Amino acid sequence: MRTTTATGLDAFVELLAGGGVLVLSGAGLSTESGIPDYRGPDGRRRVQPMQYSEFVGSSAARQRYWARSYVGWQRFSSAGPNAGHRAVAALQRAGVVGPVITQNVDGLHQAGGAVDVTELHGALERVVCLTCGDVTSRWHLDERMRQANPGYEVTSDEIRPDGDIALNDLDVEAFVVPLCLVCGRDTLKPDVVFFGESVPKPLVENCFGLTERARVVLVLGSSLAVMSGYRFVRRAAARGIPVGIITHGPTRGDGEATHRIDAPLGATLTELTRRLAA
């Protein structure tokens, strides 16, 4: 049975001081970079992302996705790492944190200096063709879409964790969809796990291995609402590995947590770094 969850920064300093910490991060870590998470304080989704079955089901759905993504990418790709990302990298350099498993697709851990990052849900900076398997750069595809859609300008201040936005039907219908340069099909997809799509089993098994070898699992900015990340918290708890959670609002893993802080990620991690990496 779990003991009462420890709270407060002193408890986290004591928990993490021995090193061997596996970080599991979610969208909440990137909110201070200007990328909002999917869920509000009540745990409900703010937006409804495109489902995998919808994306693969029709060319019209893929046109809608790429039109929205083309506009949203302009703001998404300009986001940079924040104090939380930099703190994780600093804790790695200090030998406190080891590997990082991230549910985010923004690449900000690496941009902030972190290494040994497993991207559980893939990365938006890569694009894969579902027909022939060709992999290309999202930056290259963005230039191709720009050339194929001269004058296509839609003003939007919206930004989402997957780089998507909302567009009206007329803006979608005017967009020229990119085709694969190898097979010519319209089946290009960002190399990320869509809602309703499964994380590849070998990747899941690798993350289970990282979890079981950790001394501590530290969850940063994740509600753990989906099993994709929550299963690693469950595995840690089943193995008697302490679980610390730093995020805003309740999480699905609160019952497994041994340590818990509801606090801003950037300031909290910066202070932990000051105290642990001095």
Q: What is the pLDDT of residues 85-109, one digit of tens each?
A: 999 999 999 999 999 999 999 999 9
Helix/strand/coil for 8: coil
User: Is the pTM above the cut of 0.75?
Assistant: yes
The answer to whether 256 touches 243, Cβ cutoff 8 Å, is yes
The answer to whether 258 touches 126, Cβ cutoff 8 Å, is no
**Together in a domain, 70 and 164:** yes
**Together in a domain, 30 and 145:** no
Average the pLDDT over 34-39 and give the result. 70
**Together in a domain, 148 and 21:** no
Question: What does the DSSP 8-state code read for residue 32?
Answer: G
**Together in a domain, 61 and 93:** no
Task: Find the catalytic residue in 121, 140, 248, 259.
Answer: 121
Domain housing 99: 1-35+81-121+198-278
**Together in a domain, 73 and 91:** no
The reported pLDDT for the residue numbered 225 is 93
Residue 130 maps to a domain: no
The reported pLDDT for the residue numbered 47 is 52
Q: How far apart are CA 70 and CA 163, in angstroms?
A: 8
**Together in a domain, 102 and 172:** no
Residue 56 maps to a domain: yes
Catalytic status, residue 140? no
Backbone angles phi, psi at 242, to 5 degrees: -60, 145
The reported pLDDT for the residue numbered 7 is 76
**Together in a domain, 151 and 175:** yes
Counting the structural domains of the chain, the total is 2
The answer to whether 103 touches 200, Cβ cutoff 8 Å, is no
